[in-house]
Amino acid sequence: MKKVFIKSYGCQMNVYDAKRMADVLRPEGYVEVETADNADLVVLNTCHIREKAAEKVYSELGRLRELKGERASRGQDTSIVVAGCVAQAEGAEITRRAPVVDLVVGPQSYHHLPGLIARSRSGEKVVETEFPADDKFDHLPAAPRAVTRARGVSAFLTVQEGCDKFCTFCVVPYTRGAEMSRPVVKILAEAEQLADAGVRELTLIGQNVNAYHGEGPDGRTWTLGLLLERLAQIPGVARLRYTTSHPRDMDASLIAAHRDLPALMPYLHLPVQSGSDRILAAMNRQHDSDEYRRIIDRVRAARPDIALSSDFIVGFPGETDADFEDTMRLVRDIGFASAYSFKYSPRPGTPAADRDDQLPEAVKSERLAVLQAELDDSRRAFNRATVGLVTDILVERQGRHPGQMAGKSPYLQAVQFEADGVAIGDTITVEITETGPNSLFGRPVGALSTPTRERMGAL
């Protein structure tokens, strides 16, 4: 048996891809290990979205150079692979900057990994960053049932990849390529295999997941709303989620799915990036702040208790105090249950990076701190509002203390509770009793006495 260590950075897409890379390497005799120390093969599954994320790879490669040297002194070979979006964006530059790297492979070529590794083993520095004509999903093997089961009751499933939107700050259209949707039958087959192995919650993922427009079994183009409706019929699938969405693609069928499908969890990650119309236009987001508010109104009308989440960028080139204040107003008006916020990071090759009105780092840091304090208040307010709520929890793992179990609420809150005779994969009814800094606490109760939707809708 050979050992492979895969380290993933960045988004859920990379988490999913890491599992599929492990699946393609397993038939080649590789078992996954938890650290690089004794690995014959180390894969860094990288992220290029912000400069910091990309730079992390080079510091990790510095550490791996030492490790490779130590192992070589014991007569052991170590192959170093850089995969993911840094691989796609920087290609051969990586092997120039870090000669320790044996293979650079972009996200569309993971199905060719065994052949590429064999080539690199014969001494060649291999760089594979083409967008191949064949579809990797047709060639990536499924994990054996026991492996899927061991990975947990909640799984990601890629339904869409790439992006055609070209926001002026973003590298994704260049690293992940044009938007493509997997055919419905392929997604159903993967979902059924996951459910059969014990997965209870499926999160459909894509860079623009709600732009999904895959070929249906009836020959027509299916929307994400239609796909969710079909997936909800698979026995064993108790919960459905999807991420990440773009406001432009929040269509009527998806909003209706939030109203009609009990399995579709009341949680929506819908990045707005900024509350300023001027900045939204400069970002090429293709909507203004009013349109975003109207979408939120429609979603809330369909599902009053929905927990809302977003991404924000502060310090985009030319952002004024007034623009930033517009973002703060939007945050206060909407009341997000959670959010991710970032300082604008100029990315080579994107239009915004070439602008000459870049903001000083200090201004970005100051605005980020102000925004994060407000988002944190908003998150805490949402969590406090759920205290006393009786809701269902999908049990995902043992808690930190003996007898404690942990799972997620429908609103994607981590909840810990004491319970006997509860198994991972069960959905149990819990009353939320307390909020902590990182998770909530609850106690199991007999039945769902207060219907979640009504209680939260009234808050």
Note the residues at the interface with ligand SF4 (CB under 6 A). Answer: 163, 165-167, 170, 172-173, 207-208, 246
Can residue 212 be called a binding residue for ligand SAM (CB under 6 A)? no
- Minimal distance, residue 169 CB to ligand SF4, in Å: 7
| Candidate residues 14, 78, 108, 208; the one interacting with ligand SAM per rule CB under 6 A | 208
CB of 315 to ligand SF4, least distance (A): 16
- When CB distances are held under 5 to 8 angstroms depending on the partner's kind, the choice from ligand SAM, ligand SF4, none that residue 338 binds is none
Write down the least CB distance from residue 194 to ligand SAM, Å: 24
Q: Which of 344, 382, 411, 417 binds ligand SAM (CB under 6 A)?
A: 344
Closest CB 49 distance from ligand SF4, rounded Å:
8
| Residues in 271-330 that interact with ligand SAM by CB under 6 A | 271, 273, 311, 313
Among the residue ranges 169-177, 251-259, 376-384, 410-418, the one whose residues contact ligand SAM (CB under 6 A): 169-177
> By C-alpha distance, which of 165, 87, 171 is closest to 129?
87
Q: Is 172 in the site for ligand SAM (CB under 6 A)?
A: yes
Closer residue to ligand SF4 in complex, CB, 131/166: 166
Check residue 54 for interaction with ligand SAM (CB under 6 A).
no
46 binds, among ligand SAM, ligand SF4, none (CB under 5 to 8 A by kind): none
Residues in contact with ligand SAM by CB under 6 A are: 11, 49-50, 169-170, 172, 207-208, 244, 246, 271, 273, 311, 313, 342, 344-345, 347
